[in-house]
């Protein structure tokens, strides 16, 4: 199958947005308010933390806040020299920092970041484990959530593919990102014109 | 509700390098946009990070909330459209309204032999 026809291509997977498990968006925003907009989204890899953080942004904007997204990952564990002083100098009283990958920051850097962030209205981070800020939500995945994602991507999911998805879900310990990457490889091996469901 | 449409003349989907591409864009927006553009671009689709290159842009002056405008681009010689199992490179003309960023695309192939290059058949 051609890459551009693969239903698990990156652009299609990124089009699947966060689905709260065991909570509603209203619940999340109420809890965020109760935590004074300083909270952590925690959970293992591939459970939707980054997607949730991204999907919070327009909802915060609609409440009159200005989201300020920042991102760290295993290849970029700290911010470039001189970046943060400028960033915080420009921070306004309606700005909410959305920091993806907060656990990458060395401890001392995190403490400084957290202290400086008080110049803004809020700080929401993602992390694999609790401990940085009060927990807004612990992201988790379920086989049923995977079924929903597959249906959104394919429109219809046959029993064979559903079973394959369940096996991959176990193999990757609930990491949906890895499940979808494996399914990409499965589909890449299929001949052109094969039934995608 | 905002609606955007973009079409390529005669619904052509294959172009040769250096061809001229002619089309029309139309939009019906709730309020007049600040700006409306058509972008000629290539992009990748597949497994992994996407890449994109904007080659040319047509900006429509004084756009109204609802109207249609023609556009034309001189296509470059490269990059060719291609597909393998891990990555495809596609071309598109994209209509985008600002500041709402509502957008829509029409995709096409740019290749010398009337069809995209197939990496798995090379």
- CATH 3.40.50.300 correct for A25-138: yes
Cβ of A56: how many Cβ atoms within 10 Å? 23
User: How many Cα atoms are found within 13 Å in the side-chain-facing hemisphere of A105?
Assistant: 21
User: What is the pLDDT averaged over residues B35-56?
Assistant: 95
Kindly determine whether residue B46 and residue A189, on different chains, have CB atoms separated by under 8 Å. no
Q: Does A189 touch chain B (CB under 8 A)?
A: yes
- Taking the domains of chain B in order of start, what are their residue ranges? 3-121
Separation of alpha carbons A119 and A91, rounded Å: 7
Q: Does A2 touch chain B (CB under 8 A)?
A: yes
Averaged over successive runs of 10 residues, the pLDDT of chain A (197 residues) comes to 94 91 90 97 95 96 96 90 94 96 94 95 96 95 94 93 96 96 95 69
List, for residues B67-102, the tens digit of each pLDDT value: 999 999 999 999 999 999 999 999 999 999 998 889
Which residues fall within 8 angstroms of residue B91, CB to CB, at 6 or more apart? Answer: B15, B40, B41, B42, B75, B81, B107, B108, B109, B110
Kindly determine whether residue B45 and residue A184, on different chains, have CB atoms separated by under 8 Å. no
Share of chain B above pLDDT 90, in %: 85
Kindly determine whether residue B45 and residue A4, on different chains, have CB atoms separated by under 8 Å. yes
Separation of alpha carbons A59 and B58, rounded Å: 32
Per DSSP, B16 falls in state -
- CATH 3.30.70.20 correct for B3-121: no
Closest Cβ opposite residue B47 in set A2, A3, A189: A3
Q: Would you say B15 and B75 are in contact if contact means Cβ atoms under 8 Å apart?
A: yes
Kindly determine whether residue A4 and residue B86, on different chains, have CB atoms separated by under 8 Å. no
Closest Cβ opposite residue A6 in set B46, B49, B90: B46
Helix (H) or strand (E) holding A16: none
Kindly determine whether residue B84 and residue A11, on different chains, have CB atoms separated by under 8 Å. no
Residue that the structure tokens 């909270």 belong to: A39
pLDDT band at residue B41 under the 50/70/90 scheme: very high
């Amino acid at each position: 199958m051609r890459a551009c026809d693969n239903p698990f291509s990156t652009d299609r997977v990124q089009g699947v947005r966060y689905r709260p498990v065991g909570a509603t968006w209203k619940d999340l925003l109420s809890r965020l308010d109760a935590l004074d907009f300083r909270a952590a989204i925690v959970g293992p890899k591939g459970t939707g933390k980054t997607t949730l953080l991204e999907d919070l942004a327009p909802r915060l904007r609609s409440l009159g806040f200005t989201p300020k997204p920042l991102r760290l990952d295993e290849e970029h564990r700290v911010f470039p020299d001189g970046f943060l002083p400028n960033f915080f100098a420009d921070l306004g009283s309606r700005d909410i920092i959305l920091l993806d990958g907060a656990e990458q920051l060395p401890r001392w850097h995190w403490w400084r970041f957290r202290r400086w962030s008080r110049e803004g209205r809020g700080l929401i981070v993602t992390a694999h484990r609790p401990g940085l800020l009060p927990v807004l939500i612990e992201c988790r995945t379920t086989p049923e959530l995977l079924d929903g994602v597959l249906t959104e991507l394919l429109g219809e999911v046959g029993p064979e593919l559903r079973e394959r998805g369940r096996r991959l879900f176990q193999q990757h310990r609930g990491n949906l990102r890895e499940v979808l990457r494996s399914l990409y490889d499965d589909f890449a091996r299929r001949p052109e014109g094969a039934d995608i469901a | 509700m905002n609606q955007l449409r973009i079409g390529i003349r005669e619904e052509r989907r294959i172009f040769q390098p250096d061809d001229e591409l002619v089309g029309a864009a139309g939009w019906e927006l709730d309020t007049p946009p600040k700006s409306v553009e058509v972008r000629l671009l290539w992009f990748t689709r597949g497994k992994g990070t996407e890449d994109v290159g904007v080659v040319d842009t047509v900006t429509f002056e004084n756009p109204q909330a609802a109207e249609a405008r023609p556009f034309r681009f001189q296509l470059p010689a490269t990059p060719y459209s291609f597909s393998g199992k891990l990555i495809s490179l596609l071309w598109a003309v994209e209509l985008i309204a600002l500041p709402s960023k509502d957008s829509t695309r029409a995709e096409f192939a740019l290749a010398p032999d009337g069809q995209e290059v197939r990496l798995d058949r090379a």
